[in-house]
Amino acid sequence: MAVKLFYEEKGLFLQNLHPLAAMVFLGTLLVLALAFTNPLYLAGILFVIVLTVWGADGLAVWENYLKIGLAMMLLVMMINPLVVHAGKTIIWHGPDIPFLGRPTISLEAIYYGIAMSVRLLDIISVFCLYNLIIHPDKALNLLSRLAQKSALVISLATRLFPAMARNIEHIKDVQRMRGVDFNRGTLKTKLRKYSSLFNILLLSSLEDALGIAESMQARAFGSGPRSCYSQNFWRPRDALCLAGSALALLAGVWGLTHGHGGYTFYPQLGYLIDGPGTVAVLLTVLLSLSIPVALNWGWRHCLFLKSKI
């Protein structure tokens, strides 16, 4: 599972976006998914995200995220109707329970639970998209301008992570060569064996850390300006995606302050579509958020567009 969820370089259009443009796009999706409550808006955003995931060849990865999200979605759908008594349309009266009274389940609460699980799916899918299109190094590169030391710690730890997972196996092998059988013995002896395994891992990792620190020092860490090896190019496609995100965000904020994008769940369900303004805002938001996936399609199928962006 760990491998499936991790970023893979496939040379896709969406992976070639400037990290700033890609981050702003994902951030916009996230903020809008958390800001809107209208189920139609939440479902629309989900549609755009899934379309983009498909554009990034990530439907198989997305399935894994779906599995993680499913348990949480069920919880959302269960807790809401069980504890919320604000709905007016009661569809089930429970038996009388001492101290708690009669539990009631209302249509509104079920509806709210479903809408919120769509929101949960929105958010989880945004992160799936993040894993699909942004290389961790690029994100860290962006961060390193703001916070050098923190970015250094994170990128060092990211590098060390797979190395350390391998190290555990190596130490196990060495111990096995010396006659330590990890599968034999009582729980107490097994624990002692594992305890020494982890102590060796900690000791050798910290010893390695000293080596890393010395080589950082030798490479003049912290003295003089930072050097930078890789450069990200800002291309027309990035400007287009950024403009799309900005437009979607503006339309969303304008809509929310003018009564579109919100929704009344309690005490009785409101109208999904509250006049033409609701549709106009929804379409503006969805179309401007679709710019990356539209460009992705153009990049694959339209040579003229490919040469221009």
Partner 1 sequence: MPFPVFLLLIIVLLLSGIKQNNLLAKQGWGLLSAEIMVAGLAFLYWGFEQGKTSSREIAFIAVLGALAAVGRIPFAMLPNVQPATFIIIVSGFVFGPRAGFMVGSTAALVSNFFLGQGPWTPWQMFAWGIAGASAGVLKIIFPNIGTAGMSVFHFIWGYLFGWIMNIWFWTAFIYPLNWQSFLATYAASFWFDTFHAVGNVAFYLIFGAGFVKILKRFRKKLEISILD
* Ranges of H-type helices in the chain: 2-5, 19-35, 39-55, 59-83, 107-133, 136-146, 148-177, 187-218, 236-257, 276-289, 291-301, 303-308
Residue with smaller CB distance to partner 1, 181 or 214: 214
Distances in Å between the alpha carbon of 204 and those of 158, 167, 210?
Answer: 18, 9, 10
HEC-encoded secondary structure of 125-177: HHHHHHHHHCCHHHHHHHHHHHCHHHHHHHHHHHHHHHHHHHHHHHHHHHHHH
Residue environment code for 45-76, b if the CB has 16+ CB neighbours within 10 A, otherwise e = bbebbbbbbebbebeebbeebeeebeeebeeb
Q: Under rule CB under 8 A, how many of the chain's residues touch partner 1?
A: 75
Residue with smaller CB distance to partner 1, 139 or 289: 139
Stretch that binds partner 1, among 64-72, 238-246, 290-298, 301-309 (CB under 8 A): 64-72
Give residues 254-283 in contact with partner 1 (rule: CB under 8 A): 256-257, 262, 265-266
Binding mask 131-170 for partner 1 (x = CB under 8 A): x----x----------xxxx-xxx-xxx-xxx-xx--x--
Which residues 6+ apart lie within 8 Å of 67 measured at CB? Answer: none
Rounded least distance, CB 306 to partner 1, Å: 30
Stretch that binds partner 1, among 11-19, 225-233, 250-258, 295-303 (CB under 8 A): 250-258
Q: Dig out the tokens for 309 from the structure.
A: 């962006």
Q: Does residue 250 interact with partner 1 by CB under 8 A? A: no
Rounded least distance, CB 233 to partner 1, Å: 24
CA distance 80 to 75: 8
Give residues 93-132 in contact with partner 1 (rule: CB under 8 A): 112, 116-117, 119-120, 123-124, 127-128, 130-131
Rounded least distance, CB 93 to partner 1, Å: 18
Rounded least distance, CB 79 to partner 1, Å: 5
Give residues 218-237 in contact with partner 1 (rule: CB under 8 A): 221-222
Stretch that binds partner 1, among 8-16, 70-78, 170-178, 276-284 (CB under 8 A): 70-78
